Amino acid sequence: MPHETSLIATIAAGFGLALVLGYLAVRLKMPPLVGYLLAGIAIGPATPGFVADVALAGQLAEIGVMLLMFGVGLHFSLADLLAVRRIAVPGAILQIAVATAMGMATASFWGWRPAAAFVFGLALSVASTVVLLRALEARGQVDTVNGRIAVGWLVVEDLVMVLALVLLPPVAALLDGQAPVGEELGQALLWTFAKVGGFIVLMLLVGRRLLPWLLWLAARSNSRELFTLGVVAAAVGVAYGSAKLFDVSFALGAFFAGMMMRESEFAHRAADESLPLRDAFSVLFFVSVGMLFDPAILLAEPLRVLAVVAIVMLGKTFAAIALVLAFRYPLGSAMTVGASLAQIGEFSFILAGLGVALGVLPAEGNSLVLAAALISIAANPLLFAAIEPAMAWLRERSPALRRFEAREDPLAALPEHVDTRRLEGLVVVVGHGRVGRAVTEALGRAGVPFIVVDQNRERVEALREAGVHAVWGDAAEPLVLVQAHVARASVLVVATPDTFDVRRVAETALTLRPGLEIVARSAGADADALLQTAGVARVFVAEAELAHAIAAHTVARWRGVGPA
């Protein structure tokens, strides 16, 4: 009995070769995704031997993108998105404009038509959500302030690209001097805004109630299989439906589905259940990128490849860093966002493919986009790894940068009317997310004086409007802790989840106030000993504290109702 095995062969070859080459990459001290990309090249049409189904691999990769964005939405509330809107919205739009201009200038220098240059520049302006999330997850930074800024920035980029895909045909015609399309362009713009707005309204009004209810029904069945099926069906179903009905991307639809399902009490379980599928299918994304790449472009046009890679990895990075610093965020946030955007991915392929289909972008442009994607994705983890030494080097060698970071800012110090003499013995709380908020609420009820330090400007502004003492800045910087009056503090609470940030803050605080009592949260038990060596007196691990609370409650109940 004959069988069509194209799907099975693609999955088997993709997973198998990715496993082998990913393992070899790790052994060679390289990121595993380098191995995944090489696996894609090996089974792609540009190399001899077995050739997997490129179309099927692309669709499997889309499933990975949906599940990954759904998982991010489960941890990323609407409040988190709105909290970074003042930097994410203008920053993303300006960064797209700058990167598009750089790409257009380069393509125009090569003699390309204006429409081709525009499509090419636009394809280089948008980063890959999958690459960003894998990099942030590997460093435990998804739930940090910098992680939220980067994710919010890419969500805005996705929205802009949804608009760009609809407007590309009339705009390309306009740039090439063809028939006037003013009315057509206006209608397309209004229709796109209406569809995207309708999708968001539908998710807020209906999805916010319907999706948690469906998850509750699945959990009520007491069947793990049905619960997992419900999670995957919600992620893929909403993503597909939103793309078909509202023309938004699969990634954006899945992200909003996750944010709406976050309202459910089973959101954490949903994230855990979908994690293995997210990891497996995201590997296929990198394999599919490798399959699209033709290594011949490296020999045919090496200088043009280098120019495009320079725009993606240097031009976009420096532009993003400058924009974040211009919005008065610290250098750490600027470096994280800059590294996050130093690559291109799925939307770039879609834009380049549409440009070729419209007869606007030459085939060479598509090949250059794919080459830049492969190189930038492979090198992106190295940029993240270079953030810490680069920050140390810049601060040591650049007095101008130190003066720039220390410039006067109304949020960087307490208002003049605050009587600091009443703050003797205060508690300094670093980070005002969910954990930090719970800590400060408890301190307020107990009448304990405290000052909050947070890197999110909007959050600091809101705290001050509520009458809470708050200082904006990176608590790892001595000047910020000085402005938070750490010299008067009795306890420092570090409520951020990133182990690296906790260590830096603890070391800076102990330098300013030796013997200070430091309490911190930890993302996992493995970091406990590491933080204690950095001078943290008490480390609270979420899993351990939950177990202790359950055990204490159980013992108390047993003593109350058990045998005498």
At residue 411 the predicted structure's pLDDT band, cuts being 50, 70 and 90, is low
| Segment 38-59, tens digit of pLDDT | 898 899 888 888 888 888 888 8
Q: Torsion angle, CA of 140/146/148/149, rounded to 10 degrees?
A: -150
| Segment 448-497, tens digit of pLDDT | 888 898 887 778 888 888 888 888 887 877 878 888 888 888 888 888 77
At residue 404 the predicted structure's pLDDT band, cuts being 50, 70 and 90, is low
Does 523 or 189 have the greater pLDDT score?
189
| Segment 202-220, tens digit of pLDDT | 888 888 888 888 888 888 8
Q: Report the share of the chain in percent with pLDDT over 70.
A: 85
Q: Which of 48-62, 336-350, 454-468, 498-512 has the lowest mean pLDDT?
A: 498-512
**Which pTM does this prediction carry?**
0.69
Of the ranges 196-200, 301-305, 396-400, which is most confident?
301-305
| Segment 265-305, tens digit of pLDDT | 777 788 778 778 888 888 888 888 788 788 888 888 889 99
Q: Torsion angle, CA of 394/396/401/402, rounded to 10 degrees?
A: 140
The mean pLDDT value for 8-24 works out to 91
pLDDT at 82 over 50: yes
At residue 405 the predicted structure's pLDDT band, cuts being 50, 70 and 90, is low
Q: Which of 32-46, 129-143, 167-181, 449-463 has the lowest mean pLDDT?
A: 167-181
pLDDT at 307 over 90: yes
At residue 403 the predicted structure's pLDDT band, cuts being 50, 70 and 90, is low
Radius of gyration of the chain (CA): 25
The per-residue pLDDT for 349 is 79
Q: Which residue do the tokens 């499997």 mark?
A: 60
Q: Which amino acid is at 107?
A: A
Q: Which residue do the tokens 């435990």 mark?
A: 140
pLDDT at 377 over 90: no
The mean pLDDT value for 253-269 works out to 80
At residue 4 the predicted structure's pLDDT band, cuts being 50, 70 and 90, is low
Q: Are 480 and 412 in contact (CB under 8 A)?
A: yes
How far the first Cα of the chain sits from its last, in Å, is 71
Q: Which of 79-93, 126-140, 375-389, 402-416 has the lowest mean pLDDT?
A: 402-416
The mean pLDDT value for 8-19 works out to 90
At residue 532 the predicted structure's pLDDT band, cuts being 50, 70 and 90, is low
Does 22 or 128 have the greater pLDDT score?
22
The mean pLDDT value for 171-190 works out to 64
Q: Are 234 and 207 in contact (CB under 8 A)?
A: no
The span from the CA of 339 to the CA of 384, in Å, is 6
pLDDT at 263 over 90: no
Does 370 or 549 have the greater pLDDT score?
370
The per-residue pLDDT for 505 is 83
**Alpha helices (H) along 293-362:** 296-300, 302-310, 316-326, 331-340, 346-357
The per-residue pLDDT for 408 is 54
**Alpha helices (H) along 362-467:** 363-385, 387-397, 399-405, 434-446, 457-465
Does 281 or 532 have the greater pLDDT score?
281
Main-chain dihedrals φ then ψ at residue 7, nearest 5 degrees: -65, -45
The per-residue pLDDT for 542 is 67
The mean pLDDT value for 528-544 works out to 63
| Segment 538-554, tens digit of pLDDT | 777 766 677 777 887 78
Name the helix (H) or strand (E) containing 296: helix 296-300
Residues contacting 476, CB < 8 A, separation 6+: 332, 501, 504, 505, 507, 508
The span from the CA of 357 to the CA of 352, in Å, is 9
The span from the CA of 187 to the CA of 56, in Å, is 35
Two tokens, residue 218: 């699945």
The per-residue pLDDT for 121 is 92
Of the ranges 64-73, 238-247, 407-416, which is most confident?
238-247
pLDDT at 352 over 70: yes
The per-residue pLDDT for 564 is 45
Does 154 or 398 have the greater pLDDT score?
154
The per-residue pLDDT for 398 is 65
Q: Report the share of the chain in percent with pLDDT over 90.
A: 8
The span from the CA of 37 to the CA of 18, in Å, is 8
Q: Which amino acid is at 433?
A: G
Question: Number of helices (H) and strands (E), helices first, in the chain?
Answer: 27, 6
At residue 175 the predicted structure's pLDDT band, cuts being 50, 70 and 90, is low
The per-residue pLDDT for 1 is 40
Q: Which residue do the tokens 């006067």 mark?
A: 408
Main-chain dihedrals φ then ψ at residue 164, nearest 5 degrees: -65, -40
The per-residue pLDDT for 529 is 56
Q: Are 343 and 131 in contact (CB under 8 A)?
A: yes
The per-residue pLDDT for 256 is 83
Q: In what order do the strands lie in the sheet with 470-472?
A: 470-472, 450-454, 427-430, 491-494, 517-522, 538-541
At residue 105 the predicted structure's pLDDT band, cuts being 50, 70 and 90, is very high
Average pLDDT over all residues of the chain = 80
Two tokens, residue 197: 């707005």
